[in-house]
Structure 1
């Protein structure tokens, strides 16, 4: 992959509230739900940069640091770390803000990963990001 380094300050790409319907058998927020929020947030940034449709190619080393509880405010922050001919690598961090169970304003980083997205054309084929 011919790559161009892209250094962009991380920005918020998605914010939502953890709901009871998103829990696992232990009553915590399901890790798959967290990963889907990260994927949506990363795709938003990848679409903005590539100026079109993208698909998720790969998730690199997903790490969870803390659990999420119902009612936590979930924020996904992202920045592009690499742009290739047809793909982008986006680093994504998930932070939560405890609204009810911790002192007001307590924030915690609970997950991180790098997602690779591929820019696609209207037929679903890879396309060049920069022409």
Structure 2
């Protein structure tokens, strides 16, 4: 949306970061079987700008599981020029989530 971009039509990085966190949290919450919290953004790389009008796809993959934590790789692709279907990788990030209980304290992950 226009409110999420600068005057040149580039989408704000902070908006993309929020969407990456949401995408990563889906995979983490499924593996945790419940509530999770983001505890670290281990890496975040903007490879290409994102423009107003781009169609974004977010792909999340669990890359590491600890006793209470889950590390997720999220890759973001933009579909541009939809008549010609140009797809470019625009962002990749690695985030770590921790499983939490009803008191928001860390808890062990359930077995696979």
State whether TM-score is above 0.5: yes
CA RMSD in angstroms comes to: 1.3
Gaps (5+ residues) in structure 2?
none
- How many angstroms does 1:99 deviate by? 4.2
1:94 aligns with 2:94: no
CA distance in 2, matches of 1:109, 1:84: 28
1:124 aligns with 2:104: yes
CA distance in 2, matches of 1:26, 1:60: 29
CA distance in 1, matches of 2:96, 2:89: 21
CA distance in 1, matches of 2:99, 2:29: 8
Within a 5 Å distance, the mapping from 1:1-131 to structure 2 comes to: 19-100=1-82, 103-130=83-110
Q: What stretches of structure 1 move > 3 A for 4+ residues in a row?
A: none
- How many angstroms does 1:129 deviate by? 0.5
CA distance in 2, matches of 1:25, 1:127: 45
Per-residue displacement from partner, 1:94-119 (whole Å, max 9, x unpaired)? 1010145xx52210000101000001
> Across the two proteins, how many residue pairs are aligned to each other?
111
CA distance in 2, matches of 1:58, 1:25: 31
Query: Could you state the TM-score of these two structures normalised by the residue count of structure 2?
Result: 0.93
SS in structure 1 opposite 2:23?
helix
